[in-house]
Amino acid sequence: MQRTAVIDLGSNTSRLVIYEHDPGRNFRLVDEVREVVRLREGMGASQTLRAAAIDRALHALKMYRVLCDAVGVDELIATATSAVRDATNRDSFIARVQAEAGISLRLLSGEEEGYYGALGAINGVGICDGFVVDMGGGSAQVVEVRNGEPARAHSARLGALHIAETYLGFDAGKPGAVKKLTQQVRELLENEFAWFKAYDGAELAAIGGTVRNLASIAQAEDNYPLDSVDRYILAGSDVTGLGNRLWQMSAEERRKLNGLQVDRADIIHAGALVYSLLLEHSGFDRIIVSQQGLREGLFYEKFLAGQARPVISDLRELSPLSMARNFRQDTRHTQHVAKLCLRMFDDLQELHRLADAFRQLLWAAALIHDIGVSIGYDSHHLYSSYIVLNSLLPGYTPRERVLIGLLARYHRSRGTPKAGEFASLFEPGDEDALTVLAGILRICEYLERGRRQVIPDVRCHFDRELGWVQIEALADGDARMELWDAGRNVGLLAAGLGMEVEIVEGVWAANGVSAIDTDP
């Protein structure tokens, strides 16, 4: 395992994150420090970093350096963005950071900032074609994404703080100011972002604190059941509504909004207005919110260094695998359960008629169904579900993450999957699908009860008219225990299919099929 540290020195906040990773295979955040440095404070029109701001930043960076040395990191990536980029005295600042903190600060151009932010979003929410918007305090970047890679990027002074300062003020705005802002931003977009237009198949993702807070307000008004904005779909109408509403409220009123971070109350109205203008200009009607952004993008470049491009080739495959690896799963066992599940899903396709997307959810759930054992064996199905519901699972929508969590939840113990508190995320048919899929997962888990792959494969037979399904468990050795334990756990699948389910011992060798591949 390697340790990679990323430092991100922003206009307002600095942050150190440390990842532990096995490149290309799995990673996890292991440490994080955040310090407000207010680097832009007092900079004014002369664009010079002030003494107090320089001291604050140097101090934070020195501390980050000490922490990295204390916990041990293999590599340190440190970047600075718009506040330093715009500063007349930036060269002196960068030299002092090197001399006093021992950190080589890489100054990102607006386009590079956009590029890495987009990389974080692409590897986080998995968009293939479209655009990524990153709105900070000073600037905003729009990056085009083509075939899953960041392409053209452009940065403009459309940050929430800058817009509030320049046009609206920090309290309630005035209609005239809003009008002027609207006109000038529209003009800027026409001139500099003519290529930022929705087209068939294109998606719009966004990163940064402004959009996360807009999403969080919308979630609070919507009683959204998850405690994360990642992959949340922010409706264009919500953005426009907030754009129209927030500037008319006083900062005090905004401060009381559920979901809004209090220290954003003085600039969020500006951010909302710019976002609504971005949507109007581009023609998109929704925004996919990404939790991952610049820091993650910088990290992914290292994590994926061995590959042709810094983009995870199959996010929906790597995510559950990475999670299983992080929780030190017995991969021979979980991969084998997954294999049996897929076989059963395919053999029973005519009966359940579920779409392929469900097949992948079943596979993912099979890989991580036991991660809750890390908390405790008793009730580990509940713990697995808790972990999935509280983790990022890049490439999967919130609904899909909930479905995977509920599959883990119902892989053992009594009861039938219910949407419950997550009903608002469910699509019609999801509950029924869950019953079938959890039924399959449960049987396959018990066919692997001894964790020894004694049942290398299964075949399913059925007679729809007579109403029975037979699972022929092809045994390679003494599989009595597995047959017994699976046999007493067929009830859920039977309920899901509305048919009788029986398990019959078959013989593996007689099938002449080659040895299975259970290598991760």
> Site residues (CB under 8 A) for its own copies?
28-33, 59, 62-63, 66-67, 70-71, 373-379, 382-383, 386-387, 390-391, 449-452, 454, 478, 480-481, 484-485
197/328 with CB nearer its own copies: 328
72/306 with CB nearer its own copies: 72
3-state secondary structure of 309: coil
User: For 157, which DSSP code?
Assistant: S
Q: How far is CA 342 from the centre of its chain?
A: 25
90/411 with CB nearer its own copies: 411
Helix, strand and coil percent figures for the chain, each rounded to 5: 50, 20, 35
Q: Are 454 and 482 in contact (CB under 8 A)?
A: yes
174/256 with CB nearer its own copies: 256
108/492 with CB nearer its own copies: 492
**Minimal distance in Å, beta carbon 62 to its own copies?**
7
185/371 with CB nearer its own copies: 371
Cα separation, 244 vs 262, whole angstroms: 20
Tell me the H-state helices in 247-293. 251-255, 268-282
375/516 with CB nearer its own copies: 375
**Minimal distance in Å, beta carbon 9 to its own copies?**
17
284/383 with CB nearer its own copies: 383
**Minimal distance in Å, beta carbon 373 to its own copies?**
8
1/71 with CB nearer its own copies: 71
Task: Dihedral sign for Cα 337, 343, 349, 350, please.
Answer: negative
**Minimal distance in Å, beta carbon 69 to its own copies?**
8
Q: At CB < 8 A and 24+ separation, what contacts does 18-22 make?
A: 18/68, 18/71, 18/73, 19/299, 19/303, 21/302, 21/303, 22/325
75/378 with CB nearer its own copies: 378
Cα separation, 281 vs 191, whole angstroms: 11
**Minimal distance in Å, beta carbon 386 to its own copies?**
7
**Minimal distance in Å, beta carbon 258 to its own copies?**
16
> What is the residue type of 33?
V
**Minimal distance in Å, beta carbon 377 to its own copies?**
5
Kindly report the number of other CB atoms within 10 A of residue 302's CB atom. 18
**Minimal distance in Å, beta carbon 435 to its own copies?**
21
Cα separation, 337 vs 412, whole angstroms: 14
Which parts of 245-320 are beta strand (E)?
286-289
> What is the residue type of 262?
V
Pairing type for strands 468-475 and 457-463 reads antiparallel
**Minimal distance in Å, beta carbon 484 to its own copies?**
5
Per DSSP, the residues of 462-509 read: EETTTTEEEEEEEESS--HHHHHHHHTT-HHHHHHHTSEEEEEEEESG
142/490 with CB nearer its own copies: 490
63/419 with CB nearer its own copies: 63
**Minimal distance in Å, beta carbon 493 to its own copies?**
20
User: Which residue carries 């005239």 as its tokens?
Assistant: 176
Cα separation, 364 vs 342, whole angstroms: 11
Cα separation, 254 vs 361, whole angstroms: 40
**Minimal distance in Å, beta carbon 32 to its own copies?**
7
48/379 with CB nearer its own copies: 379
Q: Are 66 and 33 in contact (CB under 8 A)?
A: no
Q: Are 271 and 330 in contact (CB under 8 A)?
A: no
Cα separation, 104 vs 102, whole angstroms: 7
Residues 6 or more apart in contact with residue 267 via CB below 8 angstroms: 137, 160, 161, 163, 164, 170, 210
Encoding tokens for residue 132? 């990524």
Closest to 393 measured CA to CA, from 448, 312, 285: 312
**Minimal distance in Å, beta carbon 480 to its own copies?**
6
**Minimal distance in Å, beta carbon 137 to its own copies?**
21
